[in-house]
């Protein structure tokens, strides 16, 4: 098990342990006589009963998926925590994917104005992305992640063994975020993904731990530079401007991973069009996306997609802050006039 540390200015630090068996560290870390409250994805609790704390003073099981991220669930959690008698020295263990992690993290942030949080991510997406960096949130009817807090976990225990039971579609969704980091931030991770494809797709824990170590380390570097996303942290949105628009346009029928994968093809296309990305790099990155089963499917008609693109939160005036790859493992944020984006989307082949 290897350890990383994420210490963003102005926020509590996180210790991140990555490797087979990391999930067993929960029992060790919770042996200190304090009260721990477990919030777990119901499916994960069934499949991995040993990952739940044996001595938790309370356990709440939630459905996976966006349905867990509501104000009603948040209230239910906070009230259960109060009934269990948690105090300022108590802690919350979040066991599950990004959905459970986001709502459990927000409950920990709010209860008594904030108690300790331990994240045990069980999906590839949560391991590579959502369990690190301190973002917690629930959804409102008006939109996703509209109510949240910055509340980093003190511990993140990343155990690739959980992926053995994860459905293929969820592995694919997580791979989109890993490839995003490989293309935009880390050429070495890109190489690992190219060379390690069979082992990664077979979910071999050693190789998965290696790619997670690189993906998480890249995220840590960015989060430490810009904890509250006012600058470089926006680079983590590579592929997401179009991705979010496609997801919303489909009424969330299209998976986040497939949408981000499609968005990555467009980001590469924008880079080549703007003359900041060498065509050979773009071709290599597209080949990697295709090797992992992502496709540059035809986009919906622009007038149908447009309302979702212009309401992107990364928009300023009539330009979007677009993350453009500039080489394998490098990217930058550029203001892209909406009119130019429209031209690229309608006239340039992916
Ligand atoms: N906080 C952040 O920085 C951040 C970043 C990215 C995404 N997110 C959020 O993450 C959420 C998506 O997270 P997700 O993709 O992990 O989805 P998820 O948490 O909904 O989990 C997906 C499905 O996998 C199941 N599951 C989880 N672990 C399993 C395992 N080991 N074996 C079998 N089944 C398992 C769950 O029950 C669920 O059905 C979204 O709400 C998104 O907004 C947050």
pLDDT tens digit sequence for 316-333: 778 889 999 999 999 999
Which two three-digit tokens encode residue 187? 């050429």
pLDDT for 26: 84
123 CB near ligand 1 (under 6 Å): yes
Confidence (pLDDT) at 213:
98
Reply yes or no on whether the pLDDT at 348 is more than 80: no
The two three-digit tokens of residue 173, written as one number: 């969704």
Give the pLDDT of residue 350: 65
Ligand 1 and 23: CB distance under 6 A: no
Q: Tell me the C-alpha distance between 266 and 290, whole Å.
A: 13
Kindly give the distance from the C-alpha atom of residue 124 to the centroid of ligand 1, in angstroms, as a whole number.
8
Residues 6+ apart with CB under 8 A from 212: 18, 127, 128, 158, 160, 178
Q: Report the atom number in ligand 1 closest to the C-alpha of 126.
A: 16
User: How far is 194 from 203, CA to CA, in rounded Å?
Assistant: 15
Pocket mutation for ligand 1, best pick of 61, 63, 64 (most atoms within 8 Å of C-beta) = 64
236 close to ligand 1 (CB < 6 Angstrom): no
Lookup result for tokens 């066991």: 95
* DSSP one-letter code for 312: -
CA distance 22 to 163: 13
Alpha helices in the chain (DSSP H): 25-29, 42-47, 71-83, 98-110, 124-125, 168-184, 187-195, 197-201, 205-225, 240-249, 256-274, 279-291, 302-310, 338-347
Q: Evaluate: CB of 99 within 6 angstroms of ligand 1.
A: yes
pLDDT at 135 over 90: yes
Span 49-70, average pLDDT:
93
Residue 55 has pLDDT above 90, yes or no: no
The mean per-residue pLDDT over the stretch 73-77 comes to 98
Is the CB–ligand 1 distance for residue 170 below 6 Å? yes
Position 28 confidence tier, pLDDT thresholds 50, 70, 90: confident
Q: How confident is residue 243, by pLDDT bands cut at 50, 70 and 90?
A: very high
Ligand 1 centroid from CA 21, angstroms: 20
Report the nearest atom of ligand 1 relative to the CA of 173: 15
Over range 21-45, report the average pLDDT: 88
Task: State in Å: Cα 69 to ligand 1 middle.
Answer: 11
pLDDT at 315: 67
**Tens digit of each residue's pLDDT (9 = 90 or more) over 138-188:** 999 988 899 999 999 999 999 999 999 999 999 999 999 999 999 999 999
Report whether pLDDT(312) > 80: no
What's the pLDDT score for residue 221?
98
C-beta 66 within 6 A of ligand 1:
yes
79 vs 55, residue with greater confidence: 79
Residue 81: which of 38, 43, 40, 42 has the closest Cα? 38
* Alpha-carbon gap, residue 106 to 114, rounded angstroms: 9
* Candidate ranges 17-31, 52-66, 87-101; pick with highest mean pLDDT: 87-101
State the pLDDT at residue 313: 61
User: What's the pLDDT at 162?
Assistant: 98
CA distance 102 to 126: 10
For ligand 1, atom 12, which residue shows the shortest CA distance? 98
Q: How far is the CA of 123 from the centre of ligand 1 (A)?
A: 6
Evaluate: CB of 233 within 6 angstroms of ligand 1.
no
Asked if residue 92 has pLDDT above 80, the reply is: yes
The answer, yes or no, to whether any atom of ligand 1 lies below 6 A from the CB of 47, is: yes
């Amino acid at each position: 098990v290897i350890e990383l540390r994420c210490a963003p200015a102005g926020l509590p630090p996180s210790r991140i342990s990555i490797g087979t068996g990391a999930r067993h560290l929960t029992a060790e870390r919770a042996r200190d006589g304090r009260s721990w409250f477990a919030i777990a994805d119901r499916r994960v609790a069934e499949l991995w009963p040993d990952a739940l704390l044996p001595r938790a003073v309370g356990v709440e099981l939630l459905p996976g998926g966006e349905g867990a991220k509501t104000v009603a669930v948040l209230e239910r959690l906070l009230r259960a925590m109060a009934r269990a008698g948690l105090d300022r020295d108590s802690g919350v263990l979040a066991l599950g994917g990004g959905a459970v992690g986001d709502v459990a993290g927000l409950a920990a942030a709010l209860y008594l104005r904030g108690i300790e949080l331990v994240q045990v991510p069980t999906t590839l997406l949560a391991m590579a992305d959502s369990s690190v960096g301190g973002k917690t949130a629930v959804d409102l009817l008006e939109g996703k992640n509209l109510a949240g807090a910055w509340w980093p976990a003190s511990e993140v225990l990343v155990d690739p063994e959980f992926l053995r039971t994860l459905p293929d579609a969820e592995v694919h969704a997580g791979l989109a975020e890993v490839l995003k980091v490989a293309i935009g931030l880390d050429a070495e991770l890109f190489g690992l993904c190219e060379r390690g494809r069979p082992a990664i797709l077979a979910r071999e824990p050693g190789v998965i731990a290696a790619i997670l170590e690189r993906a998480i380390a890249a995220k840590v570097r960015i989060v430490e530079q810009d904890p509250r996303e006012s600058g470089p942290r926006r680079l983590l949105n590579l592929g997401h401007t179009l991705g979010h628009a496609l997801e919303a346009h489909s009424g969330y029928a299209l998976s986040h991973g497939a949408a981000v994968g499609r968005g990555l093809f467009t980001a590469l296309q924008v880079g080549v069009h703007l003359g900041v990305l060498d065509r050979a790099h773009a071709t290599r990155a597209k080949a990697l996306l295709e090797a992992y089963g992502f496709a540059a499917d035809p986009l919906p008609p622009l007038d149908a997609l447009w309302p979702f693109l212009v309401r992107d939160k990364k928009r300023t005036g009539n330009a979007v802050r677009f993350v453009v790859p500039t080489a394998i493992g490098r990217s930058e944020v550029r203001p892209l006039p909406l009119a130019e984006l429209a031209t690229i989307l309608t006239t340039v082949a992916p």
